[in-house]
């Protein structure tokens, strides 16, 4: 993250330092949340059991399917707030905020009216669960929907915090969120009512408390976050136009992630909830590992959007290339050691490891590594505002996930095929994004392939060689397995530094460390 500094410009140096500082704050948040999250998952899985854990996972997925309605507009709100902040127009910034709050109110009502009947119909007629658990699953739907609506209403506040790059608040409130979830895990062990229902109630309560905290912070700190009833018609039309095309991309992503989980349930008979639990464990671990990248991108994204709004394309192109590499490296540092030691880590983490969980974890991590290269490109493409053809192309490719997965499952493939399909299509989407960003802004595709893609593949292959050899060379046993993990981590870090980083990157890192020691 630290070598994102441009040595040519003092202004760019300041931007790079801000990214580095914000990334460090977010990593403090991440480490706390990762430790709490992994432990919480173990306690929750043990308390609920595999079946109820799987039910919560798939019902939550049904509610999350409605992010294809809200997600497109959420991206529009975040983009418009960051863009107007980059242009420095505070009056229009307040209009964007107030208009977005009004839009979210209407959208929340629409989501509730759609999700309640559709969700109830799905639970009662399509889900593979015991009849005795349908009432509990129904309550999970209600409270998951409540949490979803509360999150929906907080989008303008969250967008303001990230656009202003106030990552200290984001970090501290995020830690509060993690600690509250840890408290929930302990409370459900001795539940006064059905544990699954109690868990859904408490998780919704956590969301309400955290979002109120975010709202109060924004109202105190940011002048544009003072709500007035303003509905700017032309602005709303512009935001809806942006959101309308973005809807295609968001929908395809939601169907890929949560539709795959539902397909697994539908094609697995009575073992559906167990397989959903295995997939849920994989998603949880994958989310913890992906936080290395998501926190980094949270610090980078506002600078991409604001710099594009200010007309600094040279910095945007440089930042996209370097942050794509860094996102891949950060994920590799955690993903590669886990991929080659998944079974041991799951046995240590969980008391009982669900069947298929090991392979699901490995495949999800490979998918995350593939997607990491695209994250800065997505932000940069949204910053241009030229997203109609982009969303048609990328969204069209991503929408193939469901029909292809359905076809393979119908032909008798194992449930893990849903993730294999996602990995293959992710690579296709990366190159589609490159072509579309090139057409929108003049970004160099050959330079990205040479400096980022080829470099990332080289790092991945070299970093995997030693772990692969150790799998067959080292004897079995806990001590040898721990040694294997330590060697894999050091080898991957060394590969990133000496193969992935240029000499100027390494020199800067050395200089940075020396300065920190002197301070």
Q: What is the mean pLDDT of residues 69-91?
A: 72
Instruction: Decide: 3 and 508 in contact? Cβ < 8 Å.
Output: yes
Averaged confidence pLDDT in the chain: 79
pLDDT given at position 7? 33
Q: How far apart are CA 292 and CA 37, in angstroms?
A: 14
State yes or no: pLDDT of 509 exceeds 60.
Answer: no
Give the residue among 317, 319, 290, 286 at the shortest CA–CA distance from 446: 317
Nearest one of 41, 42, 57 to 274, comparing CA atoms = 57
C-alpha 361/C-alpha 364 separation (Å) is 5
Q: What is the pLDDT of residue 6?
A: 40
Neighbours of 7 (CB within 10 A): 10
pTM: 0.69
Rounded Cα distance, 176 and 182, in Å: 10
Mean pLDDT throughout 238-245?
74
Least confident of 74-78, 121-125, 470-474: 74-78
Mean pLDDT, to the nearest integer, of 7-30? 57
- Rounded distance between C-alpha atoms, residue 447 and residue 30, angstroms: 32
58 and 134 in contact (C-beta within 8 Å)?
Answer: no
Structure confidence at residue 432 as a pLDDT band (50, 70, 90): very high
Give yes or no for residue 345 having a pLDDT over 50: yes
Stretch 234-253: mean pLDDT, rounded? 75
Tokens of 372: 């990491």
- Percent of the chain residues past pLDDT 70, beyond the cut: 85
Q: Which residue has the tokens 């656009």?
A: 163
Which pLDDT score, from 0 to 100, does residue 1 have?
A: 40
Instruction: Return the minimum-mean-pLDDT range out of 149-158, 191-200, 239-248, 398-407.
Output: 239-248
pLDDT band, very low/low/confident/very high, at 421 (cuts 50, 70, 90): very high
Sign of CA dihedral 34, 38, 41, 43: negative
Contacts of 35 (CB under 8 A, 6+ apart): none
Which of the four pLDDT bands, split at 50, 70 and 90, describes residue 66? low
What's the Cα-to-Cα distance from 81 to each of 133, 160, 381, 388, 468, rounded to whole Å? 44, 7, 16, 20, 46
Band of residue 517 on the pLDDT scale cut at 50, 70, 90: low
């Amino acid at each position: 993250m630290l070598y994102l500094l441009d040595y040519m410009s003092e202004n760019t140096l300041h931007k790079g330092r801000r990214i580095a500082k914000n990334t460090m704050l977010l990593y403090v948040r991440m480490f706390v949340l990762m430790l709490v999250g992994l432990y919480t998952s173990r306690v929750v899985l043990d308390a609920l059991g595999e079946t109820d854990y799987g039910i919560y996972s798939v019902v939550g997925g049904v509610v999350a399917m409605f992010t294809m309605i809200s997600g497109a507009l959420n991206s529009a709100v975040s983009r418009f707030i960051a863009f107007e902040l980059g242009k420095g127009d505070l009056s229009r910034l307040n209009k964007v905020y107030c208009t977005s709050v009004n839009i979210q109110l209407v959208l929340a009502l629409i989501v509730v009216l759609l999700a309640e009947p559709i969700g109830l119909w799905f639970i009662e007629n399509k889900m593979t669960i015991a009849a005795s658990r349908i009432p509990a699953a129904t309550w999970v739907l209600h409270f998951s929907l409540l949490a979803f609506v509360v999150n929906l209403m907080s989008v303008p506040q969250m967008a303001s915090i990230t656009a202003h790059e106030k990552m200290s608040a984001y970090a501290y409130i995020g830690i509060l969120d993690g600690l509250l979830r840890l408290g929930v895990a302990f409370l459900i062990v001795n539940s006064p009512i059905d544990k699954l229902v109690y868990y859904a109630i408490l998780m919704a309560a956590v969301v309400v408390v955290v979002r109120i905290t975010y709202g109060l912070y924004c109202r105190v700190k940011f002048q544009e976050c003072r709500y007035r009833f303003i509905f700017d018609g032309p602005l709303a039309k512009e935001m809806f136009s942006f959101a309308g095309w973005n809807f295609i991309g968001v929908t395809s992503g939601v169907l890929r992630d949560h539709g795959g989980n539902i397909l697994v349930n539908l094609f697995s008979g009575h073992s559906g909830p167990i397989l959903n639990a295995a997939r849920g464990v994989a998603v949880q671990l994958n989310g913890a590992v992906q936080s290395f990248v998501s926190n980094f991108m949270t610090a980078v994204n506002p600078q991409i959007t604001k710099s594009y709004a200010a007309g600094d394309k040279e910095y945007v192109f440089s930042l996209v290339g370097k942050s794509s590499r860094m996102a891949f490296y950060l994920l590799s540092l955690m993903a590669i050691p886990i991929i080659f030691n998944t079974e041991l880590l799951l046995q240590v983490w969980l008391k009982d490891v669900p069947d298929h969980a090991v392979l699901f974890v490995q495949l999800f991590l490979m998918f995350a590594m593939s997607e990491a290269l695209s994250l800065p490109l997505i932000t940069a493409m949204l910053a241009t505002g030229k997203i109609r053809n982009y969303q048609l192309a990328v969204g069209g490719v991503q929408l193939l996930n469901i029909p292809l997965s359905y076809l393979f499952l119908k032909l008798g493939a194992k449930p893990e095929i849903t993730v294999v399909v996602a990995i293959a299509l992710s690579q296709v989407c990366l190159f589609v994004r490159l072509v579309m960003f090139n057409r929108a802004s003049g970004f160099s595709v050959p330079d990205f392939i040479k400096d980022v893609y080829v470099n990332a593949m080289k790092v991945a292959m070299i970093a995997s060689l030693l772990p692969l050899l150790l799998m067959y060379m080292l004897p079995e046993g806990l001590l040898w397995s721990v040694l294997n993990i330590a060697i894999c981590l050091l080898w991957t870090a060394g590969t990133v530094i000496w193969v992935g980083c240029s000499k100027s990157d390494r020199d800067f890192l050395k200089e940075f460390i020396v300065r920190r020691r002197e301070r």
